[in-house]
C-alpha cells in the first residue's frame, strides 16, 4: 500500500542532549532554514523523540538566519485542497510544540520571517539577538499565514500590528520587535544561543508540574471567562502545591536552604 506520509529530514534538524536540556538546530542554511515538508516533519519527530530526562528545549538555526519561513519552492504545484492539508499539518506540529511536555526557548538571529515567525511563536520564550528581524512577507507573495500565525502573533503584538506587517511589508528590527512583544529578551549579536541555553537551564530546574501547568494553563486561562479562569487557576494551584516536589521546595526555603529571590 502506498503512503503519502512525509519522510522527516532528520539530518536537517540536529539534536544535542545536555543533561536536562535538549538543543534542536535547524540545519538547512543553504536555504536559510526555509521549511519544507521534510524539515517540518523532522521538527515534529525530534520533539516526539525527546528523552524523558529533557526538561526544556532550545530551538536555534544554523547559518546567518533563524528561518526564512515556508520553502516557497513547494508552493508552486499546490492546489487548494493540498494547501489546506499542508496548513493543518503545520498546525498539528506547532500545537504539539506549544502544548507539549516541556517549555521551548527559541534563540533568534537574522531572518525570523513568515513561517519562521510562526515557528518562533509556537515556542514559549524568544531571545532575539541584535541581527534579528521579524517580517510577514506573505502579503507581498499573494499568500496568507498558514502555520498558526493569525492566532499566535496577534496575542504577542496585537492584531493591528500584524495587519500592518502583512499589508505594508513592515519589518521590525530586534530592539523594536522586543519592545512590541515579539521576544522577551534582546541580546547583542551572536548572543542568542548562549542566553537561550542559560534560560533553558534555569527553566529545567523548576518543578516539572509547575512548568507544565504554566505552558498549558496560562494560554487556556487567557481564553476563558474570568470565572472559569479563576476556577482553572485554583485547580492548577491545588495540584501543583500538593506534589511532593513542591512540599520539599517550600520546606527547603523555610529551613533556610532554599533559594531567595534576588533582584540582580
Ligand atoms: C528560499 C527561501 C524560502 C531563501 N523558500 N527558498 N519567506 C519569504 O518570503 C522569505 C524569503 N527569503 C528571503 O527574503 C531571503 O532569502 C532572506 C532575507 C531570508 C535571506 O537573504 P539572503 O540574501 O541571506 O539569502 P538568499 O540569497 O535570498 O537565499 C539563499 C538561498 O535560499 C536561495 O536559493 P539559491 O538556490 O538561489 O541559493 C533562496 O532562493 C533560498 N531561499 N528563503 C525557498 N522561503 C505555513 S505558511 C508560511 C508562509 C510563509 O512562510 S511565506 C514567507 C516565505
> 2-6, 19-23, 255-259: which range is least confident on average?
2-6
Query: Of the residues 12, 30, 32, which should be mutated to test ligand 1's pocket, given the most ligand atoms within 8 Å of the CB?
Result: 32
What average pLDDT does this structure show over 196-225?
Answer: 96
Instruction: List, for residues 137-194, the tens digit of each pLDDT value.
Output: 998 999 999 999 999 999 999 999 999 999 999 999 999 999 999 999 999 999 999 9
Residue 175 sits in the same domain as residue 103: yes
Helix (H) or strand (E) holding 135: strand 133-135
Examine the domain organization and report whether 189 and 243 are in the same domain: no
Question: Is 68 close to ligand 1, i.e. is its CB under 6 Å away?
Answer: yes
Helix (H) or strand (E) segment spanning residue 23: strand 21-26
Sheet containing 111-113, strands listed edge to edge, beginning at the edge strand earlier in sequence = 111-113, 133-135, 172-173
Q: How many domains does the chain have?
A: 2
The predicted pLDDT at position 78 comes to: 85
Can you give the pTM of this predicted structure? 0.96
Tell how far the Cα of 16 is from the centroid of ligand 1, in angstroms: 26
Spatial distance between the Cα atoms of 59 and 104, rounded to a whole number of angstroms: 7
Strands 133-135, 125-129: pairing is: unpaired
Question: Could you tell me the residue range of the domain that residue 222 belongs to?
Answer: 208-254
- pLDDT of 77 reads 81
SS3 30: helix
Is residue 166 located within the same domain as residue 80? yes
Is-catalytic flag, 16? no
> Cα–chain-centroid distance for residue 191?
18
Residue 172 lies in a domain: yes
Q: Is 103 in the pocket of ligand 1 (CB under 6 A)?
A: no
Q: Which of 12, 19, 138, 201 is catalytic?
A: 138
Average pLDDT, the chain: 95
Amino acid at each position: 500500500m502506498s503512503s503519502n506520509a512525509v519522510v522527516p529530514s532528520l539530518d536537517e534538524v540536529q539534536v544535542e542532549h545536555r543533561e536536562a536540556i535538549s538543543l534542536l538546530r535547524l540545519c538547512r542554511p543553504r536555504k536559510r532554514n526555509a521549511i519544507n515538508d521534510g524539515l517540518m516533519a523532522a521538527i515534529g519527530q525530534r520533539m516526539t523523540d525527546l528523552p524523558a530526562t529533557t526538561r526544556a528545549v532550545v530551538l536555534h538555526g544554523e547559518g546567518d538566519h533563524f528561518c526564512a519561513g515556508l520553502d516557497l519552492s513547494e508552493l508552486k504545484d499546490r492546489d487548494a485542497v493540498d494547501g489546506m492539508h499542508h496548513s493543518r499539518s503545520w498546525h498539528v506540529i506547532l500545537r504539539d510544540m506549544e502544548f507539549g511536555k516541556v517549555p521551548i526557548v527559541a534563540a533568534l538571529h537574522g531572518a525570523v520571517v513568515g513561517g519562521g515567525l510562526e515557528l518562533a511563536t509556537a515556542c514559549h520564550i524568544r531571545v532575539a539577538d541584535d541581527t534579528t528581524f521579524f517580517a510577514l512577507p506573505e502579503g507581498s507573495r499573494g499568500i496568507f499565514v498558514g502555520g498558526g500565525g493569525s492566532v499566535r502573533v496577534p496575542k504577542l503584538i496585537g492584531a493591528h500590528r500584524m495587519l500592518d506587517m502583512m499589508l505594508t511589508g513592515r519589518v521590525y528590527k530586534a530592539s523594536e520587535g522586543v519592545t512590541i512583544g515579539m521576544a522577551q529578551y534582546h541580546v547583542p549579536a551572536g548572543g542568542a544561543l548562549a542566553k537561550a541555553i542559560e534560560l533553558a537551564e534555569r527553566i529545567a530546574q523548576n518543578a516539572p508540574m509547575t512548568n507544565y501547568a504554566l505552558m498549558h494553563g496560562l494560554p487556556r486561562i487567557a481564553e476563558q471567562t474570568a470565572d472559569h479562569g479563576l476556577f482553572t487557576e485554583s485547580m492548577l494551584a491545588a495540584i501543583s502545591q500538593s506534589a511532593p516536589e513542591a512540599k520539599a521546595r517550600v520546606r527547603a526555603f523555610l529551613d533556610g536552604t532554599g533559594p531567595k529571590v534576588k533582584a540582580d
